Structure 1
Amino acid sequence: MAFGVLGLVVAELFLRVRYGLGNPPLYVADARTGYRLAPNQTLRRRGNRIAINAYSMRGPEISLQRATDTLRVLMVGDSIVNGGWWTDQSELLSLRLQAALEPLNPANFRQVEVLNASANSWGPRNELGYVLRFGTFEAQVVLLVLNTDDLFAIAPHSYDLGRNPQYPTRRPLLALQEAIARRRSYTPSAELQALHDQRGDRVGVNLEALRQLKQVVEAADGRLAIAMTPLRRELEDGPRDYEQIARQRLTAFAQAEGLPYLDFLPQFQQTGSEPLYFDHIHLSAEGNRWVGQALAEWLALSLPLEDRSTPGQERSPDPLQDLW
């Protein structure tokens, strides 16, 4: 019995120190975003540091008011922007963009801030909900980073929050407890499955969310820009037929709305993209550096980045149509 207890203690310590189990990033329900990362968290997973500030952003604490000599970019997205457990805080896409923008010195700003508002599996309606909840933080640019799957994202929800081991709402008593929970098979709730089975023009609804996001950003004297990263399989086989149609709709939408839009698919196909991916969809640390540099050069050329706003006068109108 003594050896058994000792073995459990050793296993517990190993899982905590080596993998960071027992201290997962926590989530909270939100009527607008469906869910978001719980504020004010600092932890390590598999050696990578994760810090969440008071506004559920992955990043340091920030001021609501932007300094007048600062270019502030609010980057919004899903797990590609968030970086997940596989990305250390220092390697985030938002920080890579910030580092790449600084030497370009657009419009002679003295400093650059890139904020990271993101969560795993968010789609356009979650991201609109975040901006409706918190505003744009007086950012001159709101940069929405999508991937192909986001065009088919379901409505914001919190049905399986605390039930799905990937979205815990409280810390487990033991690291062993978390390890066991993550190895068990997980079945989505009936309510969540109903959302996935819901019929209708899901792409059209998500494009409407982008239109409303544009209105909110422009009402706050900002500019919305959109970038799209491809799935790894799209680099060899190209998008599937339904994905190609959705992508064409996004391109047409961006042109009709006058939105700067960067599709990374052609660039990824023309470069050695293997080191840029962590898995089938997410970027590696090298991918974050490469994409961050490309985004910085594109933003510097595509957007008028002069300071057109007056800090403290941000307006956030209600959306024209409830997408929830």
Structure 2
Amino acid sequence: MLWVLAVGVVTLIGAEIFLRLRYGLGNPPLYVADARTGYRLAPHQNLRRRGNRIAINAYSMRGPAIAPQRAADTLRVLMVGDSIVNGGWWTDQAELLSLRVQTALELLKPAQFQQVEVLNASANSWGPRNELGYVLRFGTFEAQVLLLVLNTDDLFAVAPHSHDLGRSPQYPTRRPPLALAEAIARRRKYTPSVELQALYDQGSDRVGVNLEAIRQLKQVVEAAGGQLAIAMTPLRRELDGGPRDYEQVARQRLTAFAQAEGIPYLDFLPQLQQTRYEALYFDHIHLSAEGNRWVGQALAEFVAEVWHPSPEAALPPPHAPLGDLW
């Protein structure tokens, strides 16, 4: 019987090594709770998932270390968004949407700049209130442009929270003891907490609240001497049959809001409907590496077209009126 036990132990050790080396299990990206953002990626992480490198800097950005102050010869863009911008485990660090924008913008930058930096402040399932919270927490890093990248679902995002942080296998706060333990946890059906379900069951106008968050984000960015621009990527099913009725209404509200507020807005739905978009999507919502290149080029052209110099801020960004959104 000892040989049976030995075979079992060797099999488990082999499975553990395989899951770690092949899939990166046992070392997931970790999250921390935050009163403003609800949650964000824990700072100072460097790991691999399914062969793709994931690096998180001191400011919970997916990217290399940065200086909080912008160099005078640099055009700096702060991209904020959800998993579209973040890229998740399926996107290698070298294929990030933010890096694609940076590469394309290098060729389009105004003559007074020697270099371009595109910062990536994002996390899975963030919405406008999470992104506003991030800027309130860390500031704009002296970016001349803050590029808010939304997808259709973001218009219906709930308030920032950390209810399922550390409970959901998608949002761990500590390393699992074994890669096998993580694999088992991810295969189990997960039921959201009562508190999170209550947020989704609220009958408030979530679209209106999220538009107000964008309006307040514009205030904060402009007070810091920057400019806000918005881009929207559609769900893949919207490219086949068009948005559903409630999505179309929400999109129309965003378009009217951006026009009223004077915010440059790029909606990718018409562009993608006129191209062969199948290879541009990784799944029903997220972009593939090719999609990041395609969308990144268009975003760089958008930034280069809409950016214009603005005076430095004379007043600090307002804080007091923002409490109602939480």
TM-score category (smaller protein): over 0.9
Partner-residue secondary structure (3-state), 1:104: coil
CA distance, structure 1, for counterparts of residue 110 and residue 281 of structure 2: 29
Structure 1 residue aligned with 2:294:
290
CA distance, structure 2, for counterparts of residue 121 and residue 144 of structure 1: 14
Partner-residue secondary structure (3-state), 2:107: helix
CA distance, structure 2, for counterparts of residue 303 and residue 115 of structure 1: 16
Structure 1 residue aligned with 2:319:
318
Structure 2 residue aligned with 1:265:
269
Contact 1:165/1:181 (8 A) holds in 2 = yes
Q: 1:106 offset after TM fit, Å?
A: 2.1
Choose 104-113 or 86-95, whichever is displaced more.
104-113
Residue 122, structure 1, aligned to residue 126, structure 2: yes
Partner-residue secondary structure (3-state), 1:108: coil
Gaps of 5+ in 1: none
Contact 2:152/2:232 (8 A) holds in 1 = yes
Partner-residue secondary structure (3-state), 1:228: strand
Please list every run of at least 4 consecutive aligned residues from structure 1 whose deviation after the TM superposition is greater than 3 angstroms. 306-310
Aligned partner (choices 111, 132, 135) of residue 131 of structure 1: 135
When the two structures are superposed, what TM-score results if normalisation uses the length of structure 2? Answer: 0.97
Q: 1:303 offset after TM fit, Å?
A: 2.0
- Per-residue CA distance 1:120-147 (angstroms, 9 max, x = gap): 0000000000000000000000000000
Gaps of 5+ in 2: none
Aligned partner (choices 245, 256, 260) of residue 256 of structure 1: 260
Q: Counterpart of 1:252 in structure 2: which amino acid? A: A
Structure 1 residue aligned with 2:242:
238
Structure 1 residue aligned with 2:42:
38
Q: Which aligned pairs between 1:18-167 and structure 2 lie closer than 5 A?
A: 18-167=22-171
- Per-residue CA distance 1:278-305 (angstroms, 9 max, x = gap): 000000000000001001111111221x
Q: How many residues align?
A: 321
Q: Counterpart of 1:196 in structure 2: which amino acid? A: Y
Contact 2:75/2:109 (8 A) holds in 1 = no
Structure 2 residue aligned with 1:4:
8
Contact 1:51/1:58 (8 A) holds in 2 = yes
Q: 1:308 offset after TM fit, Å?
A: 4.1
- Per-residue CA distance 1:84-121 (angstroms, 9 max, x = gap): 00000000000000000001122431000000000000
Q: 1:316 offset after TM fit, Å?
A: 2.8
Contact 1:95/1:114 (8 A) holds in 2 = yes
When the two structures are superposed, what TM-score results if normalisation uses the length of structure 1? Answer: 0.97
- Report the aligned-residue RMSD: 1.1
Q: Counterpart of 1:223 in structure 2: which amino acid? A: Q
Partner-residue secondary structure (3-state), 1:226: strand
- Per-residue CA distance 1:12-54 (angstroms, 9 max, x = gap): 0000000000000000000000000000000000000000000
Contact 2:25/2:183 (8 A) holds in 1 = yes
CA distance, structure 1, for counterparts of residue 31 and residue 239 of structure 2: 33
CA distance, structure 1, for counterparts of residue 285 and residue 157 of structure 2: 15
CA distance, structure 2, for counterparts of residue 267 and residue 20 of structure 1: 36
Aligned partner (choices 194, 198, 201) of residue 194 of structure 1: 198
Partner-residue secondary structure (3-state), 1:49: strand
